[in-house]
Amino acid sequence: MRFISEQRLDDAVVERDFTLGEIPGTLWTPESITPVPLILMAHNNGLSRREPRLAARARHAVAQGYAVASIDAAGCGERPRTAAEEQARAELRRAMRAGEPVDDIFESLVGPLVEKAAPDWRTALDALLALPGIGGAVGYSGWAAVGIRLAATEPRIAATVLFAGGYVPRAQREEARTVTVPLLLLLQWDDEGNPRQRALDLFDAFGTEEKTLHANVGGHTGTPWFETEDGYRFFDRHLK
Amino acid sequence: MRFISEQRLDDAVVERDFTLGEIPGTLWTPESITPVPLILMAHNNGLSRREPRLAARARHAVAQGYAVASIDAAGCGERPRTAAEEQARAELRRAMRAGEPVDDIFESLVGPLVEKAAPDWRTALDALLALPGIGGAVGYSGWAAVGIRLAATEPRIAATVLFAGGYVPRAQREEARTVTVPLLLLLQWDDEGNPRQRALDLFDAFGTEEKTLHANVGGHTGTPWFETEDGYRFFDRHLK
């Protein structure tokens, strides 16, 4: 892990970009050196980890006593995309706009993306836990499909906040049954890109004994601000 | 409104029983005289307002800066029950145990109960808001059917936390569409007495723009403790 930049931000947050082999990432930590629990903040595969609202959320989490790391996993953010991926993305957007069934396109694009992204997150986790200032249990927040894969296969993940979950590859819909860590699933009731009933079915499928669903009125990007705070309280219960 | 007993409890809570015509009630307030917002805490129609876990919840709410009032509305708690009500209750219990359809029995028992209970709550609200030490917006917490009726017809109710909602009389399922105040619906995912899909349909039906659903794994009485705190945070946003 090689740190390539370091900034001290106004809110006593240290923001460091790093590379780890091919994987670019960012780590946000408090200025204090007392070890704090780590949250892996995974964005939707189409976005960059530099997206301002994601970065703002990371800084806010640091103020609540966490370290936050985000990477551009294989096929995400800054990482190169294959021509086949670009074509599948374009086709997915077109089919969604046209209101056509998208399952097969989605499966062929996102299924392999999860297979490639999860090992990158695991590599990052190994490196991050070796850093001073990070200690204790690890949480995961964000992209549902990768969160399911990690929660199902990575014993160091102790709690997970998943977003949306209407479209999740078949493999992760099956893996959800084997997830046993506490989880909070955030559902936007009118999410234009995530069928509600599938998200409810996914919630039902999780094998964990402590699972909570928070549903709010509104579309995909309309999650109310108070859910961010509810997320910290969830992590406080399980990581601190 | 006539106060018939007053106790100062260990946690700086004043608990006063009152009668208001035929309506018996209890008011929990802080010792301080600074006015605080009122929460109407309505229990399921089969329970008494003296049920220890309801009373404990009321005292806890006072510690968060609220006054809490509960009454035994018509047909509830200490209030006399007609022979027909007793018979319908027994029949409802029998049919639920036997796994038979309960809609018609439920409708014939609970439909009229809501019609009789809602005016008692309104009478209590008039009297409570005239007391010193109570001021600001009013919240409602508890029994879904009465909560819907009050939220739909009583402009002084500013926010409502409803519990369960699988079985709600037909009139309230319709009235839900006219509710416009912020609401939090608590759903126990495996509630043995409340069909999940109907609770989800009820959530969908509410007309309000700010509605949140919290679902947790477990049966009817298994609501996790952190939902109590989430409830206060919801009321803090809307009543303070």
Q: What digits encode the pLDDT tens for the residues A146-205? A: 999 999 999 999 999 999 888 899 999 999 999 999 999 999 999 988 889 999 999 999
Q: Which residues contact A94 (CB under 8 A, 6 or more apart)?
A: none
Amino acid at A178: T
Q: How confident is the model at residue A82 (pLDDT cuts 50, 70, 90)?
A: confident
Chain B residue with minimal CA distance to A208? B217
Average pLDDT over residues A16-40: 95
- Cβ contacts from A onto B, under 8 A: 47
Chain B residues in contact with chain A using a Cβ-Cβ cutoff of 8 Å: 189, 200, 203-204, 208-217, 224, 226, 229-230, 233, 237
**Is residue B82 exposed (0-12), middle (13-18) or buried (19+ Cβ within 10 Å)?**
exposed
Distances (CA, A) of B103 to A171, B74, B116, B165: 40, 22, 20, 13
Residue A204: its chain B contacts at CB < 8 A?
189
Average pLDDT over residues A127-133: 95
CA–CA gap between residue B192 and residue A145 (Å, rounded): 31
Residue A159: its chain B contacts at CB < 8 A?
none
From the list B119, B68, B27, the residue with the least C-alpha distance to B231 is B68
From the list B152, B11, B203, the residue with the least C-alpha distance to A196 is B203
| Per-residue model confidence (pLDDT) at position A72 | 92
Angle separating helix axes B103-129 and B83-98, nearest 10 degrees: 130
Q: Give the three-state DSSP class for A157.
A: strand
Q: What confidence tens digit (pLDDT) does each residue in A175-190 have?
A: 999 999 999 999 999 9
- Determine the residue among A189, A202, A238 to mutate to test chain B binding: the one whose Cβ has the most chain B Cβ atoms within 10 Å: A189
Say which of B200, B209, B237 has its CB closest to residue A217.
Answer: B209
What residues in chain B have per-residue pLDDT under 50?
Answer: none
Q: What are phi and psi of B41, to 5 degrees?
A: -110, 105
Average pLDDT over residues A116-124: 95
CA–CA gap between residue A164 and residue A233 (Å, rounded): 19
What is the ipTM score, two decimals? Answer: 0.89
- Strand pairing category for B23-30 and B67-71: antiparallel
- Strand pairing category for A183-188 and A157-163: parallel
What is this structure's pTM?
Answer: 0.92
Average pLDDT over residues A127-148: 94
DSSP B167-197: S--HHHHHHGGG--S-EEEEEETT-TTS-HH
Question: Residue A64 CB: number of other CB atoms within 10 A?
Answer: 18
Q: Which residues contact A166 (CB under 8 A, 6 or more apart)?
A: A191, A193, A194, A195, A196, A198, A199, A202
CA–CA gap between residue B120 and residue B181 (Å, rounded): 21
How close A237 comes to chain B (CA, Å)?
A: 9
Q: What confidence tens digit (pLDDT) does each residue in B185-239 have?
A: 999 999 988 889 999 999 999 999 999 999 999 998 899 999 999 999 999 999 9
**Is residue B227 exposed (0-12), middle (13-18) or buried (19+ Cβ within 10 Å)?**
middle
